[in-house]
Structure 1
């Protein structure tokens, strides 16, 4: 076989493509870190809440109330 046929055979091989994908994934993880899914993902909903717009508004309102209280220690 000449070189062209060897390259064509290699490029058609599913095993070669899986190997390239695996190396690409490892390099990407080294550069950018592991994705959140690797650590179990992100779960922003609490068990008692059913999510949706109502839940978002309630959480937003709680944050506004707790995060924007005037601090009496810093007043002059």
Structure 2
């Protein structure tokens, strides 16, 4: 029975060294993770809160905050059919 054990060992080593096997395991892991936790925002294009021209930071935060204060959370007018 030792020859069967040696054959199994060699096959397992070959499988674990295979990049194709590792890619397929990563793919399955990614799909299971997305099923359990949902897809990340980057998959849908991200949140994209910052203006590409600005560097972010305090200046852009103050501008966004001021725009929200000016809008005052006004409800949108009803749509006419």
In the alignment, what sits opposite 1:55?
60
RMSD: 2.2
Structure 1 unaligned regions, length at least 5: 68-76
Output the CA distance in 2 between the equivalents of 1:46 and 1:19: 38
Q: What TM-score comes out, normalization by structure 1 length? A: 0.69
For residue 43 of structure 1, what is the aligned residue in structure 2? 48
Indicate the larger mover: 37-46 or 13-22. Answer: 37-46
Find the aligned partners of 1:62 and 1:41 in 2 and give their Cα distance: 22
Give the TM-score taking structure 2 as reference length.
0.65
Moved over 6 A (4+): none
Name structure 2 gaps, 5 residues minimum: 1-5, 74-81
Give the superposition deviation at 1:22: 0.3
- Distance, in Å, in 1 between the alignment partners of 2:57 and 2:48 is 13
2:48 match: secondary structure: coil
